[in-house]
A = this chain, B = another copy of it.
Amino acid sequence: MTSKRLLVELYYDVISPFSYLCFEALCRYRRLWNMELALKPFFLGGIMRETGNMPPAMVPNRGLYMMKDLSRLSRYYQVPLKIPQEFMEWIVSSSTVNAQRFLCAVQVEEPKFVEPVTRAFYQRLFGEQKEIMSLECIPEVAHTAGVPEDVIKKCLDSMKSGEIKGILKKHTEEALENGAFGAPTMVAHINGKKEMFFGQDRLHLLAYEAGKPWNGPFPENNKL
Contact = CB atoms under 8 A, between A and B. Distances in A.
A205 B73 contact: yes
Classify the secondary structure of A's interface with B.
helix
A55 interface: no
A196 B59 contact: no
A150 to B, nearest CB: 41
A208 B76 contact: yes
A202 B69 contact: yes
Contact of A76 (B69, B205, B216): B205
Contact of A179 (B61, B73, B180, B199): B61
A187 to B, nearest CB: 12
Contacts of A205: 69, 72-73, 76
Contacts of A73: 205
Q: How large is the interface on A (under 10, 10 to 19, 20 to 34, 35 or more residues)?
A: 20 to 34
Nearest to A206: B72
Contact of A53 (B52, B59, B64): B59
Interface in A117-152: none
A65 B184 CA distance: 13
A162 interface: no
A57 to B, nearest CB: 11
A68 interface: yes
A25 B164 CA distance: 47
A209 interface: yes
Interface string A49-71: 00111100001111011001100
A198 B51 contact: no
Interface string A154-194: 00000000000000000000001001111000000000000
A153 interface: no
A198 B69 CA distance: 9
Interface of A: 51-54, 59-62, 64-65, 68-69, 72-73, 76, 176, 179-182, 196, 198-199, 201-202, 204-205, 208-209, 214, 216, 224
Given A51-B59, A61-B181, 14 more contacts: A51-B62, A53-B61, A61-B179, A61-B180, A62-B181, A65-B181, A69-B198, A69-B202, A72-B209, A76-B204, A201-B202, A204-B216, A204-B224, A214-B216
